[in-house]
Amino acid sequence: MAEITVTPVGETYRVTVTEGDTSTVHDVTVDESDVARLGNGASDAELIAASFRFLLDREPKESILSSFDLVVIGRYFPDYPSEVAGYL
């Protein structure tokens, strides 16, 4: 199972995904209104970590964009808004 570390960096969150001996780094932005809509009361960091668990169930860490806004996930995976709460 992957280790997901979410670190705030100014207005962005730096997400490091480590599996075995390799890791990837991603910069993610998220709007507070999206956290309220998708997060079921979760913090920004909790929602981002849950979103990465959602993504990792669907693609390898190397396929995840290196920089993106969290709502972009729904463009690639239409079930994201209805499924992400299950990863919290």
Distance of CA 44 to the CA centre of its chain: 10
- For 49-78, the pLDDT digits (tens) are 999 999 999 999 999 999 999 999 999 999
What range defines the domain where residue 52 resides?
3-87
Task: Give me the pLDDT at residue 1, please.
Answer: 81
- For 24-55, the pLDDT digits (tens) are 999 999 999 999 999 989 999 999 999 999 99
In the chain, DSSP assigns E strands to: 3-9, 12-19, 22-29, 67-69
Which distant-in-sequence residues (6+ apart) come within 8 Å of 46 by Cβ?
Answer: 39, 88
pLDDT tops 90 at residue 3: yes
Which pTM does this prediction carry?
A: 0.95
Domains contained in the chain, number: 1
Task: Give me the pLDDT at residue 4, please.
Answer: 98
